């Protein structure tokens, strides 16, 4: 799961595809979009036998500002290896207040960081 996130963040489409279950894997995958991933927060993860679920939030920066992707991903284990099956996700725009911590994880206030 974290490996998949890292692959997304680094634009490693090959890894993202390999870790995708053959039944649901897209034909083509283009990660060259303008999104820059800033952080991953795993809220919960659960495995029962060969099925697993991960609930996470990931923050990204795109041309419109900041956004949060929240997803419950389903994973399936085959031959000892976990594959991403599918997930329910939602994307929300993130509009930090000027005095809020900056979503880029710099540790500074938004107004003194990316808003400046
Ligand atoms: Zn910032």
Dist. CA 81–CA 115, nearest whole Å: 42
Ligand 1 centroid – CA 84 distance (Å): 31
Considering only CA atoms, which of 66, 15, 13 is closest in space to residue 36?
Answer: 66
Question: If 0-12 CB within 10 Å is exposed, 13-18 middle and 19+ buried, where does residue 58 land?
Answer: buried
**Could you give the residue ranges of the DSSP H alpha helices within the chain?**
2-10, 13-18
- Domain that includes residue 36, residue range: 2-112
Encoding tokens for residue 66?
């900041």
Encoding tokens for residue 4?
């998949």
Ligand 1 centroid – CA 98 distance (Å): 11
Q: Domain count for the chain, please give it.
A: 1
Ligand 1 centroid – CA 113 distance (Å): 4
Tell me the pLDDT of the chain (116 aa) as tens digits: 678 888 988 889 999 999 999 999 999 888 767 778 888 899 999 999 999 999 999 999 888 889 999 999 999 999 999 999 999 999 999 999 999 999 888 899 999 998 88
User: What is the CATH number for 52?
Assistant: 3.10.450.50
């Amino acid at each position: 799961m974290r490996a998949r996130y890292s692959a997304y963040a680094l634009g490693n489409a090959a890894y993202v595809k390999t870790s995708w279950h053959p039944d649901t894997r897209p034909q083509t995958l283009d990660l060259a979009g303008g999104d820059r991933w800033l952080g991953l927060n795993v809220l919960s993860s659960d495995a029962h036998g060969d099925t697993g679920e991960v609930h996470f939030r990931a923050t990204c920066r795109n041309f419109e500002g900041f956004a949060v992707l929240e997803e419950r991903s389903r994973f399936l284990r085959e031959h000892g290896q976990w594959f991403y099956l599918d997930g329910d996700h939602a994307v929300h725009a993130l509009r930090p207040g000027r005095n809020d911590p900056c979503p880029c994880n710099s540790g500074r206030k938004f107004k003194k960081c990316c808003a400046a």
